[in-house]
Amino acid sequence: MTDPIQITDSHCHLDFKDFDGELPDVIARAAEAGVTRMVTICTKLAQEPKVRAIAEAHPGVFYAAGIHPMSVTEQPPATVDQLVGFAAHPKFVGIGETGLDYHYTPETAQVQQASLRLHCEAAARTNLPLIIHARDADEDMARILAEEHANASFSCVMHCFSSSAELAKAALDLGFYLSMSGIAAFPKSKELREIFAAAPLDRILVETDSPYLAPPPHRGRRNEPAYSALTARVGAETFGLDYADFAARTQENFDRLFWKAAAYEAAA
């Protein structure tokens, strides 16, 4: 008997109200699809206790925390010490999500940039991967990540990557990872798939960003971690691999980047 094919949803939001009252079923459906691990992301630090509790309640769920760029003016700014303090928890595996979003909130660009730099410092201090959201801010994003990485190196994933080939190259040149979401599975995303296909296979992850961005045939409906398997199948086609081979490679990539989750499982 061969081992079942397993993958990891490296970015989801299980604390969102879209999943209220359904989490056990959502996680069970994920397991049935081979999605045995997931990282649930806290985007507002006031929600950190709830996100942490979800990770504590489910063996395959890990978590990360930060302030989303669209939320930087809705609450007090994070401090580096606050972000570093979260890392004491055994299931806290990443810093963020953070980043820049000039599409929806260009008016807060300066505050976003300051917040991003704080998160970069926390990632460097904890040796945990930075989780980046980038939209319509490629030039500033590339510049700030390069500056901060030169100041104190850190690892990073460009989550739900759907930006330019230039930003992809800038991120890859720094040793960072690109994550495929349901956007990469949309029929009209040929150029995005070409960007992924040109990247090193050992720098690719998969995710849902659920409850958003469901891949076909669920597009337009609520996304959930199980559907990362659908995106992974498109990823396998993009790289010209069997699904099992692509899944195995993305598992290796996740374990390398999110080393704390891998260490937690190894010790369990």
- Residue 91 resides in a domain: yes
Kindly report the three-state secondary structure assignment for every residue of 84-130: HHHCCCCCEEEEEEEEEECCCCHHHHHHHHHHHHHHHHHHHHHCCCE
Residue 217 lies in a domain: yes
In-domain check, residue 2 = no
The pTM of the full predicted model, rounded to 2 decimals, is: 0.96
CATH number for 234: 3.20.20.140
**Token pair 């080939």 in the structure block, residue:** 165
| Domain-embedded: residue 256 | yes
The number of distinct structural domains making up the chain is: 1
In a domain, 96, yes or no: yes
CB atoms inside a 10 Å sphere around CB 34? 17
Domain presence at residue 211: yes
Q: Is residue 1 part of a domain?
A: no
What is the per-residue pLDDT across 186-239, written as a single tens digit (0 to 9) for each?
999 999 999 999 999 999 999 999 999 999 999 999 999 999 999 999 999 999
Domain of 173, in residue numbers: 7-267
Q: What is the mean pLDDT of residues 54-58?
A: 98
Mean pLDDT of the chain: 96
